[in-house]
Amino acid sequence: MSDVLDLPDVDDAWAWMAACEERGWGDGLPTIPPTEERVAAMLAGAPAVELGPLPPRGVTPTLRSIAANAVMAGCRPADLPVVLAAVGAVQDEAYNLHGSLATTHPCAPMVMVSGPVRAALGLNGGGNCLGQGARANAVIGRALSLVLLHVGGARPGVLDRSTQGSPAKYTFCFAESDETPWDPLAVQRGFAAGDSVVSVMAAEPPHNVNDHGSTTGAEILLTVAGTMAQPGSNNVYVRGPHLLLLGPEHAATLARDGWTPASIRAHLWEHARIPVAHVSEGNRRQFVEWGVEPDGDAYTVSDDPENLHIAVAGGAGKHSAWIPSFGGTALVSRVVP
């Protein structure tokens, strides 16, 4: 998508949608036409940022092109700094944007937002924060996906080779809860408590951890370990980060029993193991080719405990979520400009 758009009739919603489909614009859902007036409004007061080329195409986005995609996604001007922070974060070499966009894996760019900007934009970190219902969650994640589609060229079936994909490819954005018994993830990663921070990861959709019966932190972690210890994850052999997103009720029980993010990481490193007997012979051979050997009679889920990141989000209910990654990536955090 160029900076100067030859737009069809933007007053006819059906004609606009048909034109987007013909031109390969958009993600299949309705979009807002990025008229000159709307893009100018989006850019009013926008922070200056430096961005490099976006793979797979290698085209460098301009601030105007990102603003146009933000308009199409339904963003407000106040949302644009978060979108810009997310675009900058996925460009970090450690994120491996080219690999994550061109893979057959179903990963999507996960965006977690921490700090004061959450309340300012109405980002949801409470009940159903990984689902529908909050405009900011929906449009910020979608804007990033549209930038990667239109500028990066990650078009499904062309450069995006995902075998099945996932609904997270439309949008995967949520806020970290302010109801956490520990430091927020951004603070754990060295940012100031008052910073607004975006953390991105090439991630699978969330894997639910349902545990209504456990009454202690150790019991909850037994359930979490069982959820993580499955041989179909890229984390097993490609390695990389993963995120444990604890619901507030699970987090409160763990904190009551003296658990901290550090002790949770150490415990799950030891107990979230995949028995060799649960891995096919063919996969065991492939794991060896990737330099992955079992530790005794089981495989670890990642390279080391520090690859597991721990945050709190969600509402009432005894559910948590494990979010594995594409593997050859990193969780990258950036301050919102």
pTM attached to this predicted model: 0.95
Q: End-to-end distance of the chain based on CA atoms, in angstroms?
A: 25
Interhelix angle for 80-90 vs 135-150, to 10°? 50
Output the pLDDT for position 179: 86
Q: pLDDT tens, 303-330?
A: 999 999 999 999 999 999 999 999 999 9
DSSP 168: G
Task: Look at residue 9 and tell me whether its pLDDT is greater than 80.
Answer: no
d(CA 242, CA 325): 6
Q: In degrees, to the nearest 5, what angle opens at C-alpha 32 toward C-alphas 29 and 35?
A: 145
DSSP structure class, residue 323: E
Taking only the tens place, the pLDDT of each residue in 152-202 is 999 998 989 999 999 999 999 999 998 899 999 999 999 999 999 999 999
The string of pLDDT tens digits covering residues 128-166 is 999 999 999 999 999 999 999 999 999 998 989 999 999
